[in-house]
Amino acid sequence: MKHAGPHSADQNGFETMGIREDIDAIVKSGDVVLFMKGTPQFPQCGFSGQVVQILDHVGVPFKGVNVLENDAVRQGIKDYANWPTIPQLYIKGEFVGGCDIVREMFQAGELTTFLEEKGVAIRDRAIG
C-alpha cells in the first residue's frame, strides 16, 4: 500500500521528505551544478554572482539551483556537503567548494584544468 501522507513538492519537484535523496539526484543531474541564491540570470547575493561570473568566463555550461525557493533545500544542501555556506559548486557529482575556493581555483588556473580532467566540455570562448 502506498503512503498517502502530507508529502508536498515545490515547483522544482522537491519532496519535503527525503530531501537528501532529492539533493543527491540534483547534484548528479548535470556535469556542473551550482546551488546558489537566485538564478544564473539574477543572482541574489554577491558570492553567488561571483561564481556565476567565473563559470561564464571559463565557458562551462552549468545548472543553477535557487536555494531561496525551498527552505528544505537551503538547509539540506548545507548538511549534504557539511559546508555551512551557499553557493556550493559540484562538478560531476563532487563537491568543489564555495565562492572563495572557486575564485582561488580560477585565479590559479586550476578550475579549467579540473573541469578538463573531469571530462566537462568547455565552450570555445573565442566564439561570440
pTM, 2 dp: 0.84
Helix (H) or strand (E) holding 11: none
Q: Give the pLDDT confidence score for residue 9 in this predicted structure.
A: 52
Q: Is it true that the peptide bond before 84 is cis, omega within 30 degrees of 0?
A: no
What residues contact 3, with CB distance under 8 A and at least 6 apart?
none
Q: Which residue positions form the known binding site? A: 45
Mutual orientation of helices 46-58 and 99-107 as an angle, nearest 10°? 30
Phi and psi based region of residue 90 (left: phi greater than 0; alpha: psi -120 to 50; beta: remaining)? beta
Annotated binding site for [2Fe-2S] cluster: 45
pLDDT tens digits in sequence order for the chain, 128 residues long: 333 334 445 555 555 458 999 999 999 999 999 999 999 999 999 999 999 999 999 999 999 999 999 999 999 999 999 999 999 999 999 999 999 999 999 999 999 999 999 999 888 654 43
What is the amino acid identity at position 60? V
Per-residue pLDDT, 46: 97
Contacts of 104 (CB under 8 A, 6+ apart): 110
Region 19-118: CATH code: 3.40.30.10
